[in-house]
Amino acid sequence: MLATFALVLGITTTAVAQQQDSVPPNLRDRGRGVRTSEFQTYIERHHVLVLPSVAYIKDHNLEYNPLDWGFGDQTDLRGTFRNSSAQLLLAYGVTEWLAVELEGSYRSARFERSSRDTTATPARIRESGVGDFAGQVRVRFAQERGRRPEIWGSVEVIPANLKRKVLIGDKLTDVKSEIGLTRGFHFGTMTLRTTVEYNHGDHHWDLGETSLEYLRRLSPAWRILLAIEGGETGAPDEWVFVTAGQWRIANGCYLKLANAVGLMSKSTDWEPQVGMLWELR
């Protein structure tokens, strides 16, 4: 709801006279920076980004397998899941084509098993702790030129953490790679991105999270984003619709709002997020 409100409010500001930037028209929406892991967020050389945020996840039919948690047999079931988190992302623009990121969060999750679950899975599971640590190296391989889009990518390392916790823990260290194409048009900026990750359960590589994004700068203060995102586990049945807004409160200070709504039965039902971004030059 917050992101929807931001979208409506942003559209009402389009009548305001827009300041002229020194960047070319095709970079008007995103600027000259390297793409970060956050929607509609780019970082320039020798800049530091600090982004604390809070998020909530609600899913009334989370798919789970009791055997994956050490209970019962191989059966796909649906349970109820809630998760609240406070996150912190730090990013630094090393050069005009290279950036690095560090991220971590505190999570509090609760789960209720399916009424059809006859295994020894606990009826309710509650877990909390500091986790979701990740480090990324992000690279711009080629700048947008003519009809050729900007080509960028990243490598992310997620170390094992909280191994004994089934809801918020990472039993194995994961390495993910990402590749994206971005091009600016007169109507906005389009991005297509996907990840490649190793599926430890099936022992092969999968296409992971994929998204098609539309970014538009409405005024000197407002930017909006619309996206379709999903496929994180390699399956084409977990897509969500994302709306997001970014409001420049002052130079170097931005309010970020996002909202994701599930489009399929296996998708997360609802995931709102609010953050405050500081850009240090």
| CATH code: domain of residue 155 | 2.40.160.40
Alpha-carbon distances of 271 from 92, 224, 232, 260, 261, rounded to whole Å: 27, 17, 15, 5, 7
Give the pair of three-digit tokens for residue 82.
């809630």
Alpha-carbon distances of 207 from 82, 118, 195, 261, rounded to whole Å: 26, 33, 6, 22
* Residue that has been written with the tokens 């917050």 in this structure: 2
Domains identified in the chain, total number: 1
CA–CA separation, 28 and 20 (whole Å): 9
Task: Please give the backbone phi and psi of residue 5, each rounded to the nearest 5 degrees, phi first.
Answer: -60, -40
Q: Residues 69-86: pLDDT tens digits? A: 888 778 889 999 999 999
Q: Residues 171-193: pLDDT tens digits? A: 888 899 999 999 999 999 999 99
**Three-state secondary structure call for residue 78:** strand
Q: Residues 2-44: pLDDT tens digits? A: 445 444 444 433 333 344 357 899 999 999 999 999 988 999 9
CA–CA separation, 137 and 222 (whole Å): 28
* Distance separating the N- and C-terminal Cα atoms of the chain: 32
Of 62-76, 85-99, 125-139, 207-221, the range with the lowest mean pLDDT is 62-76
Domain that residue 73 falls in: 2-280
Average pLDDT of every residue of the chain: 89
